């Protein structure tokens, strides 16, 4: 017979959960107090300059917040700037526009996560529509299902915000997307990635028909893989040969086939190859051989770039080789908790380049260049965010509030950046 949990243990679990819920509410209240301190006066909105930009976090009626202070709080919370701003936005939405639900949360009658579900759906609504949703949901939110929340918000939109209803319809069409998640590998060595997309109904029907036909054809030709595997293989064949569509309008035609450009680092003692330019991580050498031996594949071998070599130029704009070296070294934005890929980043001169007197400023060199996405490039340039690089690929950041973080890159798991709070100054 399994041992029965004692009432004392159950009570301890219950008390721990209650304490965690109370602490979460206290955190929300502290964020509201923080927002008051870093609020940007509305009188400044028409004449904002870089460094004091007020960002609207929450719906109409919520205060404007200092943009770079928001990044500071996000880093302290252990979140990316985007995730932190979203957390702040939902907190302000709850406090300033959903006041009845806020009271229920503070009284510990509604969990924070459930209140945030409502916030996510009211952020873009008019003040009257949000107030209606607040009034209708607050008394029963503790027991509401997601469907009930959705229906109530939809009713609020119909009654008070018909323009938002039309905007949402158009947004759904604009938000159609298709993503191949090269930087989110299922497993470091299995050679597969996830693919997600949102299509119009007619495109989805055509895609399903093409994939189904491709999987059936592979089966008829003797492929013994599972149906799911054959469906995924069919998509790959479509990508290489455009077997279902011919969208070439140039008249030049298309030879089809796969082009492979790989930066591979081979360890003689390991069965794996470290790959830099397809999302990072390691694959088995056999997997790399399969890629290169697939019919129709064109393999491009680039000269090896030494990531530790100091490359420099006297100009402000780096050379193509220097750009490639820095992107291969950093791979992502090096700001705390940011994971934006190199293709979405600028090259930042850590010590600013002086265009009027190049000898007096920072150099355009390997050690003085780093990847920063546009948002965090602005934060570093126009606020008191600052960073040093004690060694290649390691970045020590100091926020406007004095919080310190070290950003490094993990050896495996896609080599995604790792952010670690620094309690003490790093070793020189």
> What's the pLDDT score for residue 188?
56
Cβ density class 321-346: b for 16+ within 10 Å, e for less: ebebbbbebbbbbbbbbbbbbbeebe
Q: List the one residue out of 382, 372, 347 whose CA is nearest residue 362.
A: 347
Report yes or no on whether pTM surpasses 0.85. Answer: no
| Domain locations in the chain as residue ranges | 13-174, 176-244, 257-304, 312-421
> What's the pLDDT score for residue 422?
85
Which stretches of the chain score pLDDT less than 50?
43-51, 243-245, 247, 250-256, 278-279, 412-414, 425-428
Nearest 5°: the CA angle 47, 381, 332 is: 125
For residue 341, list its beta bridge partners: 332
> What's the pLDDT score for residue 345?
93
The Cα 59–Cα 134 span in angstroms is 13
In this structure, the number of other CB atoms found within 10 A of the CB of residue 41 comes to: 10
> What's the pLDDT score for residue 171?
78
Query: Which residue carries 């959960």 as its tokens?
Result: 17
> What's the pLDDT score for residue 138?
95
Q: List the one residue out of 262, 351, 364, 258 whose CA is nearest residue 305.
A: 262
The Cα 424–Cα 428 span in angstroms is 12
64-67 long-range contacts, Cβ below 8 Å, gap at least 24? 64/39, 64/40, 65/35, 65/38, 65/39, 65/40, 65/92, 66/38, 66/39, 66/40, 67/379
Residues with Cβ within 8 Å of residue 376, at least 6 apart in sequence = 71, 81, 333, 335, 338, 385
393-403 tens-digit pLDDT? 899 999 999 99
The Cα 55–Cα 68 span in angstroms is 9
291-323 tens-digit pLDDT? 666 655 666 656 667 777 899 998 889 999 899
Find out whether 324 and 305 touch, Cβ atoms under 8 Å: yes
Q: Cα 148 vs. chain centroid, distance in angstroms?
A: 30
For residue 349, list its beta bridge partners: 369
Query: Which residue carries 């908790």 as its tokens?
Result: 337
Find out whether 339 and 184 touch, Cβ atoms under 8 Å: no
Query: Which residue carries 């299509």 as its tokens?
Result: 199
Q: What are residue 398's phi and psi, to 5 degrees?
A: -125, 125
Measured in residues, the chain has a length of 428
């Amino acid at each position: 017979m399994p041992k029965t949990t004692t009432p004392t243990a159950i009570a301890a679990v219950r008390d721990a959960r209650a304490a965690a819920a109370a602490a979460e509410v206290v955190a929300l209240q502290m964020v509201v107090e923080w927002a008051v301190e870093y609020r940007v006066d509305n009188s400044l909105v028409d004449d904002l300059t870089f460094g004091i930009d007020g960002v609207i976090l929450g719906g109409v009626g919520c205060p404007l917040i200092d943009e770079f202070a928001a990044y500071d709080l996000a880093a302290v919370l252990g979140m990316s700037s985007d995730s932190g701003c979203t957390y702040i936005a939902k907190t302000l939405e709850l406090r300033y526009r959903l006041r009845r639900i806020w009271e229920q949360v503070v009284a510990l009658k509604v969990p924070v996560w459930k209140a945030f579900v409502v916030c996510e759906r009211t952020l873009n609504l008019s003040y009257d529509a949000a107030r209606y949703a607040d009034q209708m949901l607050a008394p029963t939110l503790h027991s509401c299902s997601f469907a009930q929340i959705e229906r109530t918000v939809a009713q609020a939109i119909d009654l008070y915000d018909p323009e938002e209803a039309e905007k949402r319809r158009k947004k759904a069409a604009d938000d159609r997307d298709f993503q191949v998640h090269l930087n989110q590998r299922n497993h470091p060595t299995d050679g597969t990635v996830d693919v997600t997309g949102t299509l119009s109904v007619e495109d989805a029907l055509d895609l399903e028909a093409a994939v189904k036909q491709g999987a059936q054809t592979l089966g008829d030709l003797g492929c013994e893989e599972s149906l799911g595997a054959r469906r995924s293989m069919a998509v790959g064949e479509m990508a290489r040969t455009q077997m279902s569509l011919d969208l070439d309008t140039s008249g030049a035609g298309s030879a089809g086939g796969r082009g492979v450009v790989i930066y591979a680092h081979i360890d003689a003692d390991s069965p794996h190859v470290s790959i830099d330019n397809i999302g990072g991580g390691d694959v088995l050498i056999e997997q790399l051989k399969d890629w290169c031996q697939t019919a129709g594949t064109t393999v491009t071998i680039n000269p090896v770039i030494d990531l530790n070599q100091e490359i420099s130029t006297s100009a402000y704009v780096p050379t193509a080789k220097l750009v490639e070296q820095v992107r291969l070294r950093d791979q992502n934005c090096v700001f705390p908790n940011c994971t934006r890929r190199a293709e979405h980043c600028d090259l930042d001169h850590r010590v600013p380049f002086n265009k009027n007197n190049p000898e007096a400023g920072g150099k355009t060199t390997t050690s003085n260049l780093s990847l920063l996405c546009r948002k965090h490039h602005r934060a570093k340039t126009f606020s008191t965010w600052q960073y040093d690089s004690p060694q290649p690929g390691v970045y020590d950041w100091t926020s406007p509030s004095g919080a310190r973080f070290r950003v490094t890159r993990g050896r495996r798991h896609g080599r995604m950046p790792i952010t670690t709070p620094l309690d003490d100054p790093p070793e020189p």
